[in-house]
Structure 1
Amino acid sequence: MTSARPYPAAALFGRLLDHANRHDPYPYFAELTREPIWQLDAHTWLVSGHCEISALLRDPRLSAQDAAPADGPSGPLGSDGRPFRGPFLLLDPPHHDALRAQTVHQFTPRILGMRPRIEAMVAGLLDQHGGSGPGEIDVVASLAYPLPVAVICALLGVPPEEEPVFHSFAGRLTRALDPVETLSKQEIAELEVTRADWLAYLLPMIEERRAAPATDLISGLLTDGDPATRMVDVELAATLGLLLIAGHETTVNLIANGTLALLRNPDVLARLRADPGLAPAVVEEVLRFDPPVQMNGRHTTADIRVAGQVVPAGDRVTLMLAAGNRDPRRFAAPDRFWPERTGNAHLAFGGGVHYCLGAALARMEGQAALTAIATRLSIPRPVADPPPYRPNMLLRGPEELRVAHDGITPTG
């Protein structure tokens, strides 16, 4: 009787899944970067090398789409006449390209002039906690969470009083992106309820905009291009859910992770305070050093050779973005938080046809928030380090980040 083949990466991956290690997974990512590719089990692979991940993100033989339609042949049909299979993040070309092009066409023009509005939102949120004396602020609850949901609601034409509803849906829907190994049966069942609730909430809003289009993103998507290829309602609801998750939860983590990095690196905090023009470089380094999205999953549609290993068709491939971002073969001193580094080709926004649609918006929000933290909070320091982290492993970030300060400078 032969013994089962050992898979050394399984223990490492198990430690990454363990919530006890959520506050600092990077020692385990560092172990994974010792090799560019690992076999996790008989049909699953982990890719941790920066070069290999970059290539695979652009390889059409790596599919983001489920092997079978989620709803079966009797489920709702998409705009291509085939069974609906989820938002375009989980689709392959050509249908992915058609849905993404429609979204980009309506989304990009609406965000180009948003920087002043975002900066005003940040200022208003901090003003609620202003004062000349010492105090404490939870950066997650008071800034990182409300900012992106306010921005998304503004894009969608959702009134401010509805923001708490979107906030709730963002947290509930996000768990759907986590590895199934981290979800209990109850959580899986709850996700199905959440998806149904999302449709029940959004479809009447879609019908209202169809009857009376306005200038918001929902109205734009309902009236975009050729009616024959326009998104059907279930695709539009899924796309808006994707924008909510990707545009909200990732930005929450970008701001929280970035604030924590600044607090742990007071020299960088001081440089940003003295020169707010450093903000773009700081945000890019946060995206490399502690990315909001730690990994993503694909499967192969053909045999692919990766760093000398042949990954067979039909196998699962997990791209370890956070490991690639600290690959010493690509980045000098990868564990150093160093905004002035050159050639910061991080993987935080993915690549290829699935490159993050909201990258420009996330950068605006991150730059505005971190600049305000650096310039308006006097002597900020963490109340608890490490802070508590949320259960989500794929979209990793603090559950709260309490920061003590000696005062918040008023605007103006």
Structure 2
Amino acid sequence: MTQSLLHQILDYANRADPYPIYEKLRKTPVHHEADGPYVVSTYYEIRSLLHDPRISSDARNLASNAADPLAEAPTEESTLPPGFLRLDPPEHDRLRRMTNRPFGPPHSPHRVDGMRGELHDIVTGLIDGIGDPDRIDLVEQFSYPFPVTVICRLLGVPREDEARFHSWADTLAANLDPDPDADPERGKGAQDARMQLGMYLAGLIEERRKNPGEDMLSQLATAKGEDGPMTTMELLSTAALLLIAGHETTVNLITNGMLTLLRNPGVLQRLRADPRLAVPIVEELLRFEPPVQLVPQRTTLADIEVRGVTIPKGATLWLVLASGNRDPQRFDNPDRFDPDRPDIQHLGLGSGIHSCFGAPLARLETQFALSELARRLENPRLLEDPPPYRKNAVLRGPRQLHLACDGIRA
């Protein structure tokens, strides 16, 4: 029996190369199967909907249509409330504004840029510690520990606690995928992980309230800005969001980036000669191999017409960002990796009010990572292509990336 296109997207067999499926999707810009979600796959339509106030991100507005096998109804949670990514205005705007005060402009304009020295030191230490150049697992030895170390330092989370929150983060990231089989155990596992993470963060926040430092967690826990302080539950859900989102997508972006460069050795050579190319390379990577492939489980608050199709009020909506990024109506030769594109207005970090909160940091981390790997690894080459991928279809990236090189420069 032929799988539906939606099940093909979620099927692990297609994880290494989902782009032919997206090409089929774009033939019907608004794709709808039986009682399933409405799937939008073309660039201009996705961008418009990301800015449309009639689209809700709030899980409480998800359609309770039991006939939809790919829509997960919201569950009663006795642990953490949704993070601000899963809220609508005005709650979303207030929490995002409060979270941004210790992170970016206008109140903390130098927070990210001021981390350049730290980022360089972390990258240098990780590359120095790689060891055997004949067998490198880039994910385990570099792509994962780099952003985890950065987000721990930024938030004030002890780096030695990584082993504790790693499994919780993996469980919660896996739960982002729509569940075609409606497995109740997966939902229970995610709930348990949120509870454990919440209890862990509650202890840290209590410590920071008593002995605040310069880290973001301390500043959020003691803030008294124009919006007032966050409630304890808001602080817990925000801290959980920052901890998980602060490394999950960057791990994929760095790994996808190195994989793409090794498949395009001419670009890798150019980056080695000129580290400034890291900026356009990362932007093209965000278009070509975005770490977030699709945004599922959005809800329409009114009837919306898209390309002649009326998406009814209360419908579940998927926005396939990675498909929009390869839309030939928007990008010339979209399946070609080309950092010299004069216009790379991608959807790789979203758009609209829910655009990636940590985008400035993710960009800078990946620029540092790829430019230093290109400079220091002598003649790097893949040992396995395609590599094994993580199961996650929403946050898509290699689980391992085995490569070898002739040596590691100082």
Q: TM-score higher than 0.5 here?
A: yes
**1:226 CA drift (Å):** 4.6
The amino acid of 1:88's aligned partner reads: F
Q: Tell whether 2:229 aligns with 1:236.
A: no
The question of whether the paired residues in 1 share the 8 Å contact of 2:103 and 2:216 is answered with: yes
Q: Counterpart of 1:318 in 2: which secondary structure?
A: strand
The separation in 2 between residues aligned to 1:116 and 1:226, in whole angstroms, is 29
The separation in 1 between residues aligned to 2:244 and 2:124, in whole angstroms, is 24
The separation in 2 between residues aligned to 1:384 and 1:75, in whole angstroms, is 44
**1:180 CA drift (Å):** 2.5
**Any unmatched runs of 5+ in structure 1?**
1-7, 77-83
Q: How does 1:273-288 map to 2 (within 5 A)?
A: 273-288=272-287
For residues 166 and 148 of structure 1, do their structure 2 counterparts lie closer, same or farther at Cα, with a shift above 3 Å needed?
Answer: farther
Aligned to 1:53: 46
Aligned to 1:17: 10
The question of whether the paired residues in 1 share the 8 Å contact of 2:29 and 2:40 is answered with: yes
Aligned to 1:251: 250
Aligned to 1:4: none
Q: How many residues align?
A: 392
Q: How does 1:79-228 map to 2 (within 5 A)?
A: 85-108=81-104, 109=108, 110-129=111-130, 134-181=133-180, 184-226=183-225
The amino acid of 1:254's aligned partner reads: L
**1:179 CA drift (Å):** 1.3
Question: TM-score, normalised on structure 2?
Answer: 0.91
The separation in 1 between residues aligned to 2:355 and 2:211, in whole angstroms, is 33
**1:130 CA drift (Å):** 5.1
Q: How does 1:351-390 map to 2 (within 5 A)?
A: 351-390=351-390
The separation in 2 between residues aligned to 1:107 and 1:258, in whole angstroms, is 25
Bigger mean CA deviation after superposition, 41-50 or 283-292? 41-50
Q: How does 1:293-304 map to 2 (within 5 A)?
A: 293-297=292-296, 298-304=298-304
Aligned to 1:349: 349
Aligned to 1:311: 311
**1:183 CA drift (Å):** 6.6
Q: Counterpart of 1:46 in 2: which secondary structure?
A: strand
For residues 141 and 382 of structure 1, do their structure 2 counterparts lie closer, same or farther at Cα, with a shift above 3 Å needed?
Answer: same
**1:209 CA drift (Å):** 1.0
The separation in 2 between residues aligned to 1:230 and 1:214, in whole angstroms, is 17
The amino acid of 2:144's aligned partner reads: Y
The separation in 2 between residues aligned to 1:272 and 1:226, in whole angstroms, is 43
**1:191 CA drift (Å):** 1.1
**1:393 CA drift (Å):** 0.9
Q: Counterpart of 1:248 in 2: which secondary structure?
A: helix
Deviations 1:57-101 (A, max 9, x none): 0000000002359576x968xxxxxxx741000000001000000
The separation in 1 between residues aligned to 2:265 and 2:222, in whole angstroms, is 49
The separation in 1 between residues aligned to 2:61 and 2:276, in whole angstroms, is 48
The question of whether the paired residues in 1 share the 8 Å contact of 2:94 and 2:227 is answered with: no
Deviations 1:33-52 (A, max 9, x none): 22321113335200011000
The amino acid of 1:177's aligned partner reads: L
The question of whether the paired residues in 2 share the 8 Å contact of 1:71 and 1:85 is answered with: no
**1:135 CA drift (Å):** 2.2
Q: Counterpart of 1:340 in 2: which secondary structure?
A: coil
For residues 266 and 157 of structure 1, do their structure 2 counterparts lie closer, same or farther at Cα, with a shift above 3 Å needed?
Answer: same
Q: Tell whether 2:23 aligns with 1:30.
A: yes
Aligned to 2:67: none
The question of whether the paired residues in 2 share the 8 Å contact of 1:46 and 1:320 is answered with: yes
Over the matched positions of the two proteins, sequence identity in percent amounts to: 48
The question of whether the paired residues in 2 share the 8 Å contact of 1:130 and 1:409 is answered with: no
The question of whether the paired residues in 1 share the 8 Å contact of 2:5 and 2:21 is answered with: yes
The amino acid of 2:8's aligned partner reads: R
The separation in 1 between residues aligned to 2:130 and 2:89, in whole angstroms, is 47
The separation in 1 between residues aligned to 2:279 and 2:83, in whole angstroms, is 30
The question of whether the paired residues in 2 share the 8 Å contact of 1:149 and 1:167 is answered with: no
The separation in 2 between residues aligned to 1:39 and 1:405, in whole angstroms, is 47
The amino acid of 2:248's aligned partner reads: E
The amino acid of 2:396's aligned partner reads: R
Query: What is the RMSD computed on CA atoms of the aligned residues?
Result: 2.0
The question of whether the paired residues in 2 share the 8 Å contact of 1:175 and 1:392 is answered with: yes
**1:182 CA drift (Å):** 6.7
The separation in 2 between residues aligned to 1:29 and 1:86, in whole angstroms, is 30
For residues 386 and 164 of structure 1, do their structure 2 counterparts lie closer, same or farther at Cα, with a shift above 3 Å needed?
Answer: same
Bigger mean CA deviation after superposition, 170-179 or 115-124? 170-179
The question of whether the paired residues in 2 share the 8 Å contact of 1:85 and 1:91 is answered with: no
The question of whether the paired residues in 2 share the 8 Å contact of 1:389 and 1:400 is answered with: yes
Q: Counterpart of 2:31 in 1: which secondary structure?
A: strand
**1:111 CA drift (Å):** 2.0
The question of whether the paired residues in 2 share the 8 Å contact of 1:48 and 1:323 is answered with: yes
For residues 166 and 111 of structure 1, do their structure 2 counterparts lie closer, same or farther at Cα, with a shift above 3 Å needed?
Answer: farther
The separation in 2 between residues aligned to 1:192 and 1:36, in whole angstroms, is 34
